[in-house]
Structures are given as C-alpha cells and as structure tokens.
Amino acid sequence: MSDFQDPKAHLFALVQTALTSVAPDLTDLTFVIERPKQAAHGDYACNVAMQLTRSLRRNPRELAQAIVAALPESTCVIKTEIAGAGFINFFLSSAARTQVVKLAQEQGERFGRSEYGARKKVQVEFVSANPTGPLHVGHGRGAAYGASLAAVLDFAGYKVQREYYVNDAGRQMDILAVSTWLRYLEQFGIDVPFPKNCYQGDYVREMARQIKESHGDRYVHQPWTVLEGVKSAEEDVEEHLDGLIANAKKLLEDDWHYIHNFALNEQLGDGRNDLAEFGVHFDNWYSEKSLYDSGLVERAMDQLEANGHIYLQDGAKWFRSTHFGDEKDRVVQRENGLFTYFASDIAYHQNKFERGFHKVINVWGADHHGYIPRVKGALTALNMDPEKLDIALVQFANLIRDGKQVSMSTRSGEFVTLRELRAEVGNDAARFFYVLRKSEQHLDFDLDLAKSQSNDNPVYYIQYAHARICRVQEEWGGVRADLAGANLDLLGNEHETAILRRLSDFSETIENAAREYAPHLVAFYLKDLAAEFHSYYNAERFLVDDAELTLARIALIDAVRQAMVNGLALLGVSAPEKM
C-alpha cells in the first residue's frame, strides 16, 4: 500500500521513526493520530509530545519541536504546526488528500475493505430463536444487528461464519407439538381444555388444519384418554402440561414424531423465509438435537465430571458454576436422567471451540446477561479459553406511533411480528433503524419517522443523497472511465475538503465498527457523509463551464456514491438510483 493510500498509517510511521532519535527507549510508546476538531488545524493531529512528557520530564512543546525536526521527508506532508500544549498538526498534500477518490474508483465494491482481521476465523451466532412461532420485532433487532456485524467483520478482513442454533430438542418443542395436536383434536369436536401455557397463536390452528387436511382423523384420541392421570391445571399448571405431553407421546407413539417434526419444520421454515426476505442469511443451521444424537452432550458432561466440576445432589447432577463466578450452581442432569438445556448449551459451545474459531461471538437478548458467567465458567472447566467467547447483548425495541408506545402483544399473547413490521415500514427502514443505536441501548423505533420522506428520516436522507448523485451523473452523461483522468487538485473549497476528509475515514470507520462490534458506527458515518454531500449540493454546481472542474467534481461525488453503496450494503439497505 502506498503512503498516499493510507496517509494516517504513513504519519504513524513518520512519528515512530522520529522517536528513534528523540526518545530511542520509548519507540513502543502509545500515541494517537486523529482528526482535529477544526479543519484549520490541519488534516491530522498527534499527541505524542504530551505522551512523552512524563517519561522525559521535558516541556511538551519542546518535545514536539524535536519530533518535528526529526521527521523524515515525505511528499504526503506539506507542512507541520505545533499547537496548544504540544499537539503536532499535519497538513497533507493535495495528492495525499485526494488519493481516496482514486481508491474508490479503482476498488469499487471493495472500497473500504481492509486486512485488519487478517482472515482470522470468527463465528457470529445470532437470532437462534426457538422455532415455536413467528419471529417478532425483538428477534428482528437481533437479526439486523447480527447480520450487519457479520458483514462488517467480513469487510474488515475476518473469515466469518454466520450460524443459527436451532433449539429443536427439549420441552418447548414438545409444548408446540402438543399445542398443535390439541388444536387438531378441537377440529373433530373433542373437548380438551386448551392450557394457557400452550402456544396460543393462530399459526398453531393453521398447522392443525393442515394436518387434518393431509391425514384426516389418523391422530384422533378420545378426551378421557388424553386427560387420563393428568394432574389438573388448578393444582399445578406446569405438571398439567407435562402430563398432557406424556399422554400424547404414549397415545400417538411413532406418530408423535410426525407431529413434532411437522410443527418444527413449519415454524423453522417460516422463520428462515422471514429472515431471507429481511436480507438475513446463515452459513450454518446447527441442530441442538444433533448434540444428543452424536453423544456430544454426554461427552461434555463426562469431561466436566472427570475434571471434578460435577456433584450429585437429590438424584440430580450439578455443575459447580459458583466456582466460576455464577450466583449459584446449576443442574445439568435431572433426577429422571434427562439433560437440561444448560447441558446442551455447554456441549454446543465446546463444539464451537473445537471447530477452530479464533473468536466466537454470541448475539443474545439483554435478558440473558446472567447466563454469561455460567457459560464462560463451563468453558473454563473444560480447559478452554473463555476469552475467545464474546457476548453482544441486544436490548428489546419499543415501537412508537404518534408519539406513543405501541402495545407489543395481542390478547392472545402474540407479539407484533417481524413480518408485520417489515410490511409497514419496509426492509430498508427496518434494517437501518434497528442498528441506529448501540445494541445494548434501548431502542425506540419510531414507525412514523421510518415511513416519512423527510430529512429527519436517516434512511431517506442517505438514500436521497445517493439518488441525487445518480441524477447528477445522468445529467453529466459522461463515461465513468474518464473520471480516472480527473485533475483532483482542483478540489479545494471547504465542502470538497470536508467530503475528502470524510471519505478518508471510511475504512477506519469499518475497522472501528469491527473492533467494537458496533455496526451503528457505519450508520452514523453514512448520515454524516450524506450531510456533507447535501451541503455541497446546495452550495455548488457540479456541471460548470470549466470541463476540468466538472470532471473533478463528478469524480468526487462518484466516490461518495461508492462509499454509500458499500456502507448501506453492510447494513442490509438498498441504494436506489431514483426516488
């Protein structure tokens, strides 16, 4: 990479070279090179002199002068100034400032990519909702965040695998299956009270209808057999439901697996289609059931026991999670011999680590915060490095309409679905608004704003900037290849300088977003870039009598267009050419 392609890295190298003569024992000193708040103070400012003051016990301005004097010659830098307490301000040459336009032309859809991640293998597991019903708006935020995070990490040079953990084993799937079966029985006039802790939605009735249509009365059993020996709901609502599940398995025998798998596949397929329509795709769908079928759960528990981290109490096996910072020990195998969800989760994470990822990132709802120490504790107990596991927490999203919070669930207990949200505001607005805040911050999703065509709507504001650029280029009517010959030295007014600075920060923004697991930084960047462009558009004409100046300005806004296309793609948002 040439000095012009990455001026900031070049300045770092210059300062480090200067340190070898000014402070040879401190060449590994940590210092910052960043944009000064005011453009008049140069393109970049460095705080190295202040960082040296304590160690060398010298005046920072004197140190700054010594460092400037020791800087190697560079065609990137036209002058330096010492400001304030000892900041070194760097002023770049026109060629160094405008090189970013040429990079955008040459790299196209790769513009902004970097090798920051060094092709390290990273897994991002997200959504992973129980396939027991339609995805709701809470899942939507996790989906948008996880998909954008994975895209940002990929763009920053990591080798990314996107995974959905399918909870296709355990009690929740049994509840969905028995809910479907009870609704199926209803269609034959068989009166078994429907428990309130079963799945209530209309989608359950629809699955029951499909089963009846395909198989008639094959799965019909009389009410007294369904309820035989079942504790009443008034006595214990959970034991009542467990009794219904047990009777269903006994009465249906092998047919139970059909109903169970039908309900699972219907809901998993619905969720997969919903996510695909939302622009969210996965490289791997990992089955929880496969952990049991392959013996991985049993193996993980045996290993914990061999390492001395399991004890027996009241007929159940417990993991000593308090030894690893958890608030209490956790059951991993019940007295009836069945493993708990936590046991399969331990095995799943052990399997993730055995697949050789440099980093494993789980995107969880904020309500799972307490789950972190026990999972990391289990990894430590299995002699694995818990620092390789990062948890990104996502807060729920509140829907706002007419300034008031929208009720998130209906009387039947169904949440507002992701599909309903997408139908109302569109995919672009949904994807962008979901990542407009840090994932761990509460998000108020303003439905009216998301649908508005105004500058207050950030999606519209950015997309309109892109469409404006496309319209200007269409009016210009030139050949894009001609932009490579533009005289970029003509770009010097305040708007052009501001845009050049912003474009130069694109790749660094991607790296920061990858480092901090913060795709909202890309959203903020795009808003700022759009603001710079709109100001430029309102202040200047692009198609002027001076053909050279026209070409330079078209080249500049084409670079803006490319940054917008690439940035919006990372967030799963389109870049329309007309609006």
Q: What is the pLDDT of residues 471-485, one digit of tens each?
A: 999 999 999 899 999
DSSP 77: E
Per-residue pLDDT of 96-149, as tens digits, reads 999 999 999 999 999 999 999 999 999 999 999 999 999 999 999 999 999 999
The strands making up 121-125's β-sheet, listed across from edge to edge, are 284-287, 159-166, 121-125, 359-365, 389-394
Q: Are 128 and 157 in contact (CB under 8 A)?
A: no
Helix (DSSP H) and strand (DSSP E) numbers for the chain = 22, 15
DSSP 328: S
Max alpha carbon distance in the chain (Å)?
Answer: 94
Which is higher by pLDDT, 566 or 39?
Answer: 566
pLDDT of residue 205: 96
Secondary structure (3-state) at 449: helix
- pLDDT score of 411 more than 50: no
**Exposure class string for 242-275: b at 16+ Cβ within 10 A, else e:** bbbbebbbebbeeebeebbebbbebbbebbbebb
Supply 504's token pair.
């130069």
Supply 69's token pair.
């004097």
What is the rounded distance in angstroms from the CA atom of residue 387 to the CA atom of residue 166?
A: 24
- pLDDT score of 491 more than 60: yes
Percent of the chain with pLDDT over 70: 98
**Partners of 83 in the β-ladder:** 87
* Residue among 131, 130, 412, 413 at smallest CA distance from 262: 131
**Which residues 6+ apart lie within 8 Å of 388 measured at CB?**
353, 357, 358, 359, 360
Radius of gyration of the chain (CA): 30
Banded model confidence at residue 37, pLDDT cuts 50, 70, 90: confident
Region of residue 518 (left: phi > 0; alpha: psi -120 to 50; beta: else): beta
Query: What single letter denotes the amino acid at residue 548?
Result: E
Q: Are 99 and 5 in contact (CB under 8 A)?
A: yes
**Partners of 398 in the β-ladder:** 444
Region of residue 309 (left: phi > 0; alpha: psi -120 to 50; beta: else): alpha
- pLDDT score of 412 more than 80: no
The strands making up 310-313's β-sheet, listed across from edge to edge, are 310-313, 316-319, 330-333
- pLDDT score of 1 more than 50: no
